[in-house]
Each structure stands twice: as C-alpha cells, then as structure tokens.
Amino acid sequence: MSKIRQAFLTPESDQFTDDATVYEYQGWEVTLIEGNPENIKITTPEDLDYAAYLLSKKGSR
C-alpha cells in the first residue's frame, strides 16, 4: 500500500484540507517540485478568468 493511502487510513485524516497535511501528520516529509505556473487549479471565478486569459494568450502565439 502506498504511503499516501496508508496516511488516509488514520482516523484524523478527515480533519485536514489537503493530501500534503495528511502525509505530514504521519511524520513523513513532503517534497515540493516546481511546476509550470500556467498549470493552475481552478477553484474561484477569478481562477476561471485567469485560465481564460492564459488560453487566449496561447491562441495568439
């Protein structure tokens, strides 16, 4: 079983808001990897506007 699946089996896992926190709660180190800044998570209307902007920018290339 993967570590992240194992971490989610703990009763406290429902108290956390993201996978990294569940993982860290086990005492394991989370590694951050730099990615493409245009690979965004859309969670608000403003994010959707930004995504539309990025798509229009790509279309004008």
Mean pLDDT over residues 37-48, rounded?
92
What is the percent of the chain where pLDDT is above 90?
A: 41
**Residue that wins the pLDDT comparison between 44 and 15:** 44
Domain count, the chain: 1
Residue 50's identity, in one-letter code, is Y
The amino acid that residue 57 corresponds to is: K
22 within 8 A of 16, measured Cβ to Cβ: yes
pLDDT given at position 45: 96
Residue-range definition of the domain harbouring residue 48: 3-59
Cα distances from 19 to residues 31, 40, 50, in angstroms, run: 12, 17, 25
Confidence of residue 48 (pLDDT cuts 50, 70, 90): very high
What's the rounded Cα separation, in Å, for the pair 40 and 43? 9
